[in-house]
Amino acid sequence: MTGAAFLTAQGLNVELAGRIVLKDVSLSLSPGHLVALVGPNGAGKTTLLRALAGLVPSSGAVHVGGVALSSLSLGERARRFAYLPQGHIVHWPLPGRDIVALGRYPHGATDPARLTPRDTEAVLRAMQATDVVEFSDRRVTELSGGERSRVALARVFAVEAPVILADEPTSSLDPRHQIDVMKSLRTAADQGTLVMVVTHDLGLAARFADTVLVLSDGRLVSQGAPAEALSEEIMGEVFRISAYRAEYRREAVIVPWAEI
């Protein structure tokens, strides 16, 4: 990995309801990278994402930008981590613009009707980047799954945080929208953001990520460039599958093939 680490964890342990979910996870991630976090169901991927953002109690040390997470207030954490949970829940039918504007909440812009010019610009930039300007006045609950996921992504971009943590942003999307979302996240990484994506889609992980982290039973068992991290051994041991492996336009291609 190149560049100075921006987000590090040392000896991260998480226990939820008496069950140890994460065991001694240590990692070190640099800005400008797209990191895919993969692993079987129940491996602790979502918990790792939450622990990094400080949304679940954990033991061990997390540092972001050289500052200990534990020393940051909720607001300071919110400006450093933009978190996209699974499912893109929206409880009230608010217009798309107001949802995206919630991305400015950590910056003190708690009312979408009273944004500073700087907040307005951030909101508009995020809406352009995800191509959701046309949904500005549409109620998000009336949008299709793909459209709603783009609005959710715009909300995350509007935070303009140095770290984006996205939990299965492509699940339940058709292939075109999956690529769409991954490309947007890839662009954010290319512009200097550290993007961490939980996914079950090893193909997307191999295609778009700089680094793949493999989590199995709460432990980080493999990390590195996609083709190395998702080696035949790891695919066998962790996922218990074999995969078709190839290269297309100098990108790694991994297609899960058969159970073993």
Q: Which long-range contacts (CB under 8 A, 24 or more apart) does 144-147 make?
A: 145/172, 145/173, 145/177, 146/173, 146/174, 146/176, 146/177, 146/180
Using CB under 8 A as the binding rule, whether residue 153 contacts another protein is answered as no
| Structure-token pair, residue 28 | 């070190």
Using CB under 8 A as the binding rule, whether residue 42 contacts another protein is answered as no
Q: Which is nearer to another protein, 7 or 202 (CB)?
A: 7
Rounded to an integer, what distance in angstroms lies between the CA atom of residue 104 and that of residue 100?
8
Shortest distance (Å) from residue 250 CB to another protein: 36
Q: Which is nearer to another protein, 83 or 239 (CB)?
A: 83
List all residues 6 or more positions away from 257 whose beta carbon is below 8 Å from its beta carbon. Answer: 241, 242, 243, 244
Helix (H) or strand (E) holding 216: strand 211-216
Using CB under 8 A as the binding rule, whether residue 111 contacts another protein is answered as yes
Burial class (CB in 10 A: 0-12, 13-18, 19+), 86: middle
Question: For 200, how many CA atoms within 13 A lie in the half-sphere containing its CB?
Answer: 11
Q: Which is nearer to another protein, 5 or 94 (CB)?
A: 94
Rounded to an integer, what distance in angstroms lies between the CA atom of residue 86 and that of residue 241?
25
Using CB under 8 A as the binding rule, whether residue 162 contacts another protein is answered as no
Shortest distance (Å) from residue 85 CB to another protein: 5
State residue 236 phi and psi, 5-degree precision.
-70, -50
Shortest distance (Å) from residue 112 CB to another protein: 7
Using CB under 8 A as the binding rule, whether residue 127 contacts another protein is answered as yes
Q: Which is nearer to another protein, 105 or 208 (CB)?
A: 105
Residue from 1, 5, 16, 55 in contact with another protein (CB under 8 A): 55
Residue from 5, 16, 61, 94 in contact with another protein (CB under 8 A): 94
Using CB under 8 A as the binding rule, whether residue 221 contacts another protein is answered as no
* Token pair 């700087």: residue: 118
Using CB under 8 A as the binding rule, whether residue 62 contacts another protein is answered as no
Rounded to an integer, what distance in angstroms lies between the CA atom of residue 105 and that of residue 101?
7
Shortest distance (Å) from residue 239 CB to another protein: 27
Q: Contact positions toward another protein, by CB under 8 A?
A: 50, 53, 55, 74-75, 77-79, 81-83, 85, 89-95, 97-99, 102, 105-106, 110-113, 120, 124, 127-128, 133-134, 136-137, 155
